[in-house]
Structure 1
Amino acid sequence: MRIVHPILVLFADQAFFALAKIKPFAIQEQAIPNVINGFCNIGGAPPEAHLDNATFTGICEGGAARFLGIPYAEPPTGDRRLRLPDPLPPYEGNYDARKFGPSCPQQRMLLPRGLNTRLEKDVSDIFAKLYEKITVDNEDCLTINVFTPEDATNTSNLPVVVWIFGGGFEIGGTALYDGAVIVTRSIKMGEPIIFVSMNYRICLAAFGFLPGKEVKNAKIGNLGLQDQRLALKWVQKYISAFGGDPSKVTIWGESAGAISVALHMLVNKGDQEGLFRGAIMQSGGPIPVGDIENGQQYYDALVKNAACDNSPDTLECLRNVPYAKFKYAMDLSPNFFAYQGLALAWLPRVDGIFLTEPPQYAVLRGHVSNVPMITGMNAHFIVGNCDDEGSLFSLSSLNVTTTTELGQYLNSFMLPTAPKNQVDLLLQYYPEDVTAGCPFDTGPLNNLSVQYKRIAAIQGDIVFHGPRRLLLKYQANKQNSWAFVHKRGKFLPFIGAAHGTDLLDSFGGGKLADYVIYFTRNLDPNGDLEEISWPQYDLRDPKALIFQEFGLVVEDDNYRIDPLEFVANLSLLHPI
């Protein structure tokens, strides 16, 4: 029997869709029928959308009218590096909107070391091909894409889902996600929607999440989130021209995208400014981060590696350093497969302007979007996780082999300000018992090293499962909410139902896409689904929808109650 090596699925949330771009799910090979009075009209002319005084020419492909690569902000280049995004003046002239715009600059990925040297090289080569040939990057990258049903018109008033891609705030781009998959599925269900996606500045290559006191003093923190916010405002202004209803917008993301969705629910003390009425979070929530100065070491290292350390104004130096030199300095920084795991270098952090308080404190204080968009209607949300969130990010720490070393590891990265007695207590909640570790429910299997499954459980719970449970605990009695746990992929050696595996159920033809479509349409994920009804989350009897290997079930949401409660409290005291 052939065994699938875990390294081959490390990039499930990115490489899968990049490979699919060659022939996106074969759906693009279908003949596109002529439609009267829609964007894809009977004459066979390309679809057009009119914004301000401009005409945008798209393409009918994959069962949808596609308008791609539309600029939504001034290019963050030249003197606009390290600046807040600037909205564009009114559009003028003619625009070719038939191709995706370039992705924002990507951080170089170094795979976990020590698993298989030859395999690491092979996968690294594949990864390089995907991101050099398919996800072409450029600093001029702030573009937005709109996918509409082929028969839609500018008066259709369809609900809209806005996708925010993931990638650890280090990699990713909209070209990896074919929105036509969601749009055509919605049409077949009789619940048509519009799909929107945007590129935003990630990592620091385009200065999306640069930390440090210099950034805080300059009031330019979290530029990637600021980009997303501007894109959401663009949707409000222009989506009607594509047949969308700006009062019926749902924001949807995975991983870094889901964290972004959660943070948009928390800014302005929960006032979403009329930008959305629903939120869907796959593998991400109110991440336990603290002040932006917590990342000072990464800013200092970047400045040094970019040869800006002798400059009297290091920010100004970074604005003007040649891009190739800056990219080199960025690539020396740790990525999400580095030894430190999920204590990521480039994260959203509290900057005092966009994020004014730690996300988990905002949840406790009730600063979460629930402002009625329509009288008597609050913002609703869906939040869920893959069961084995921490496995992928623990493959580089296999040399941690004792409880003492694990405590030191946590103190060095995930919990640098926690006293030893609190870390020791944490380890009591996560005992040295491989049958209790991650991948969960796999008994003694999948333990790559003595502490691997233990580390994976802790990391996944602190960054993913704990925030999900915290959000539900404090918001489910205020907003209509639904929870899920994705357990498909348990057969994958060493990583199980790992981070990103749920994307196959979103963009790969799975049932999660149906729930997303129904929720976007009706603020309720239930519709004419045959399999099972998804109960609303009730704190008196909390239930979660479980995506099993085959089929769906509803179960009590009571796994690891005490450990998750403890890590949530610990994260409040010691954010990353």
Structure 2
Amino acid sequence: MSITARSMGLKLSTKATLLGTSIMWQLLLALQALASPVATTTASTVNLGYAQYQGSVDTATNITSFLGIRYAAPPLGALRWAAPQPPSTASGVQQAITEPNACYQALVGNSSTNPFESTSMKKRAVSQSEDCLFLNVYTPGSEVVATPAGGLPVVVWIHGGGYIEGAASTFNGADLIKESNYGVVTVLVQYRLGLFGFLSGEAVKQGGALNAGILDQNYALQWVQAYISNFGGDPTKVTIWGESAGAGSVIQHLVAHGGNTQPPLFSAAMTSSTFLPPQYNYNDRIPEMLYSEVVNGTNCTSSSDTLSCLRAADVSTLQTLNYNINIDGFFGTFVFVAVVDGTFIVERPTVTINRGRLNGNYLLAITNSHEGNIFVDQSTTLDVADYVKTLFPTFGPAQVAGAVAMYQNQGSNVNQANLVMGDSIFVCPTYYLLLAFGERAWKGEFAIPAGLHGSDIAYYFTSYQNGPAYNNSQFITAFSNSFMAMAMSNTPDDRYAPGDITPSWRPWQQGLEEMMFNETSAGVPDVYTFKTDMNVLERCAYWRNVSVYSAQ
């Protein structure tokens, strides 16, 4: 039995802007390889016990980078679909001056029909590797001073990409250091993606590790606790931050172990465009069917131990499957995503969130004004009922009817689909978190036209792609400083930089107040407080009430 487009039910990005930036991401890597090197000098060496790393200093910015630090053993052979393991001891000094291998990448779904009817096995030349469990560390200044006590706040960035694409090399952690007035240490984390990081099913539960990509991130957070003081960072002042699937990853760490990870791995969390697609139990129908699809594609069906057979499979065969299964997914969807594994993620995220007990003490949450648009075929003729059934295959007639009632007066079919996607997967999960954190949470909205998903990234990673389209220094300062203030002071309301035009910013539950980041028609920064739209909250109450059916 094949998985129909309707039964796949996930849904996420399409053509350009981060989550669906597969092709742009590949071009970026190529351009980075051709780019002229910046003026650098040798940095001091950091001894981590298992290895010594020597980074480089950008003499123009006076920021030191350590690129490609191995935080876990290569997940090869028997370690495929296994929990991350400690890296081996390396002799000599390792030069941390080049970007690490990216994890194997895949493309967003682009099919309007059954994603598993295609028999083609497209293959592409890739510059990725299974040996990809690395992280990049950036520190202010030309000398790295270990700080056994105290140190600078630490920002750990988890990249987005729908859990199937993305890499540390796409971002420059020095951007955040400059925006913080050299007040933070930044860490950019890579993790296993797609089929390699998110293969599920009973066989993986019994013989390996579910949510391997999320466990990689968790292992990297443990690495930060153990080693960041060697780079001048304070392990008691760690903020985790991600965009899209990176923000979805932040949710996984907030709810990990039922919201009670011990010892704590971070003190604050920031979500940019929270991503919470259906998160099925690891042995539900769809994860098991995906596992069967991989087994069939590797000729492992006759094996008495299919997982061992998959571990012995050639990586190019697996990557071809990874590519095809994802690109043949329903338009805009990401097929391999996190599941409820019963150990690290013990229940559906909304259940843990609703309990109000989460890891971390503070939350800054930002959404974009038009989150759903790039994940919807803008020429779709699906009515809202068909669209909802496609997105949430476990909905019954009553849940579909409820959604139709919420959106049927919201314009065209396309506009209704845009809102369904934006609300259910991005916006409403953000409000669930805000409710759980109470007085310790702040909410903002990025609306620089057209306010699409991913268009905010260049306003904090200012060297990302071609930089911010609205290149206004006042706006960039106001927007980016909010994140860095949160990381340094546990509130975005700290005006630490001169020229910050952001008004006083109260926690969200104090009057449902949010901060708008926009521009006027005359091109002047427009940053102001506003009240949350009650219509949005009403729609979110619906999605929250049916979360058991949406598998969120």
- Fold-level similarity (TM above 0.5): yes
In structure 2, the residue matched to 1:386 is 368
Q: Quick check: 1:400 aligned with 2:378?
A: no
Would the aligned equivalents of 1:288 and 1:359 in 2 still touch at CA under 8 Å? no
Distance 1:519 1:10, change over 3 A: closer
Structure 2: which 5+ residue stretches go unaligned?
A: 1-13, 114-123, 463-467, 469-475, 520-524
Hey, what's the Cα distance between the residues in 1 that align with 2:109 and 2:243? Answer: 22
Superposition pairs of residues 117-516 of structure 1, within 5 angstroms? 132=126, 136-155=127-146, 157-187=151-181, 191-204=182-195, 207-218=196-207, 220-272=209-261, 273-284=263-274, 288-294=278-284, 295-335=287-327, 338-339=329-330, 341-342=332-333, 344-370=334-360, 379-395=361-377, 398-401=379-382, 403=383, 406-411=384-389, 413-434=390-411, 450-477=412-439, 480-490=440-450, 497-508=451-462, 510-511=476-477, 512-516=479-483
Distance 1:153 1:9, change over 3 A: closer
Hey, what's the Cα distance between the residues in 2 that align with 1:261 and 1:392? Answer: 22
Name whichever of 352-361 and 53-62 sits farther off: 53-62
TM-aligned CA deviation for residue 105 of structure 1: 0.5
Distance 1:325 1:30, change over 3 A: closer
Would the aligned equivalents of 2:106 and 2:322 in 1 still touch at CA under 8 Å? yes
**Secondary structure of residue in 2 paired with 1:162:** strand
Q: Quick check: 1:544 aligned with 2:482?
A: no
Q: Quick check: 1:48 aligned with 2:40?
A: no
In structure 2, the residue matched to 1:74 is 73
1:313-337 deviation digits (Å, cap 9, x = unpaired): 22111111111111112222134x9
**Secondary structure of residue in 2 paired with 1:489:** coil
Q: Quick check: 1:571 aligned with 2:528?
A: no
Would the aligned equivalents of 2:371 and 2:452 in 1 still touch at CA under 8 Å? yes
1:412-457 deviation digits (Å, cap 9, x = unpaired): x3222221122012111001542xxxxxxxxxxxxxxx52111111
Distance 1:112 1:384, change over 3 A: farther
Hey, what's the Cα distance between the residues in 2 that align with 1:200 and 1:485? Answer: 28
Hey, what's the Cα distance between the residues in 1 that align with 2:346 and 2:50? Answer: 38
TM-aligned CA deviation for residue 575 of structure 1: 0.8
Would the aligned equivalents of 1:219 and 1:353 in 2 still touch at CA under 8 Å? no
Superposition pairs of residues 26-65 of structure 1, within 5 angstroms? 45-52=42-49, 54-61=51-58, 63=61, 64-65=63-64
| Amino acid in the other structure paired with 2:321 | A
1:33-71 deviation digits (Å, cap 9, x = unpaired): xxxxxxxxxxx5443222226431111126211111011
TM-aligned CA deviation for residue 141 of structure 1: 0.5
In structure 2, the residue matched to 1:527 is 495
TM-aligned CA deviation for residue 366 of structure 1: 2.4
Distance 1:315 1:18, change over 3 A: closer
TM-aligned CA deviation for residue 214 of structure 1: 2.1
Name whichever of 517-526 and 537-546 sits farther off: 537-546
Hey, what's the Cα distance between the residues in 2 that align with 1:562 and 1:21? Answer: 43
| Amino acid in the other structure paired with 2:45 | E
Q: Quick check: 1:554 aligned with 2:545?
A: no
Hey, what's the Cα distance between the residues in 2 that align with 1:13 and 1:399? Answer: 21
TM-aligned CA deviation for residue 255 of structure 1: 0.7
TM-aligned CA deviation for residue 528 of structure 1: 3.1
**Secondary structure of residue in 2 paired with 1:515:** helix
- TM-score normalised over the length of structure 2: 0.83
TM-aligned CA deviation for residue 262 of structure 1: 1.4
Distance 1:53 1:314, change over 3 A: closer
TM-aligned CA deviation for residue 298 of structure 1: 1.6
1:350-394 deviation digits (Å, cap 9, x = unpaired): 011111111000011223115xxxxxxxx1111121121111111
Would the aligned equivalents of 1:266 and 1:369 in 2 still touch at CA under 8 Å? yes
Distance 1:352 1:231, change over 3 A: same
* Cα-Cα RMSD: 2.8
Structure 1: which 5+ residue stretches go unaligned?
A: 1-5, 33-43, 115-127, 371-378, 435-449, 491-496
When the two structures are aligned, how many residues end up with a matched partner? 497
Hey, what's the Cα distance between the residues in 2 that align with 1:21 and 1:65? Answer: 21
In structure 1, the residue matched to 2:522 is none
| Amino acid in the other structure paired with 1:263 | Q
TM-aligned CA deviation for residue 252 of structure 1: 0.8
Would the aligned equivalents of 1:288 and 1:358 in 2 still touch at CA under 8 Å? no
TM-aligned CA deviation for residue 290 of structure 1: 3.1
Would the aligned equivalents of 1:153 and 1:242 in 2 still touch at CA under 8 Å? yes
Would the aligned equivalents of 2:508 and 2:514 in 1 still touch at CA under 8 Å? no
1:90-146 deviation digits (Å, cap 9, x = unpaired): 5542211101110110114565789xxxxxxxxxxxxx8xx95xxx31000101111
**Secondary structure of residue in 2 paired with 1:276:** coil
**Secondary structure of residue in 2 paired with 1:367:** coil
Distance 1:286 1:474, change over 3 A: farther
- TM-score normalised over the length of structure 1: 0.80
**Secondary structure of residue in 2 paired with 1:548:** strand
Q: Percent identity?
A: 27
Would the aligned equivalents of 2:168 and 2:189 in 1 still touch at CA under 8 Å? yes
**Secondary structure of residue in 2 paired with 1:566:** helix
Hey, what's the Cα distance between the residues in 2 that align with 1:415 and 1:176? Answer: 32
TM-aligned CA deviation for residue 8 of structure 1: 5.5
In structure 2, the residue matched to 1:117 is none
| Amino acid in the other structure paired with 2:100 | G
TM-aligned CA deviation for residue 410 of structure 1: 2.6
**Secondary structure of residue in 2 paired with 1:501:** coil
Hey, what's the Cα distance between the residues in 2 that align with 1:9 and 1:423? Answer: 30
Name whichever of 278-287 and 194-203 sits farther off: 278-287
Hey, what's the Cα distance between the residues in 2 that align with 1:180 and 1:12? Answer: 25
Hey, what's the Cα distance between the residues in 2 that align with 1:267 and 1:542? Answer: 27
Would the aligned equivalents of 1:163 and 1:195 in 2 still touch at CA under 8 Å? yes
Distance 1:199 1:541, change over 3 A: same
1:205-240 deviation digits (Å, cap 9, x = unpaired): xx2111222223335110001101111111111111
Superposition pairs of residues 18-33 of structure 1, within 5 angstroms? none
